[in-house]
Amino acid sequence: MAAEVCAEMVANVVQVVVAESDQVAAGDTLLVLESMKMEIPVLAEVGGTVAEIKVREGDVVQEGDVLVVLA
């Protein structure tokens, strides 16, 4: 069962911390967003394997956009 990690706000992607096929645990940082001059880490809600990264550094994401898919 795949888990999608979505953006909670409009933001810029400043850093992608993980790579596809990385193993992550719940609470691990997946990437860092910047909104209104604040950096916001995006954390894995569940553990698993990074199946797909749908954004790159420098991308602008909208609320609800899928950022990372965990398998």
**Domain harbouring 25, CATH code:** 2.40.50.100
Confidence of residue 2 (pLDDT cuts 50, 70, 90): confident
- In the predicted model, what is the mean pLDDT of the chain? 97
Quick: pLDDT tens for 58-68. 999 999 999 99
- The alpha carbons of the chain give a radius of gyration, in whole angstroms, of 11
User: In whole angstroms, what is the distance from residue 59 CA to residue 30 CA?
Assistant: 15
Q: pTM score > 0.85 for this model?
A: yes
Expressed as residue numbers, the domain containing 38 is 3-70
Q: What is the DSSP string of 2-53?
A: -EEEE-SSSEEEEEE---TT-EE-TT-EEEEEEETTEEEEEE-SS-EEEEEE
Q: What values do phi and psi take at 54, rounded to 5?
A: -100, 0
How many separate domains does the chain show?
A: 1
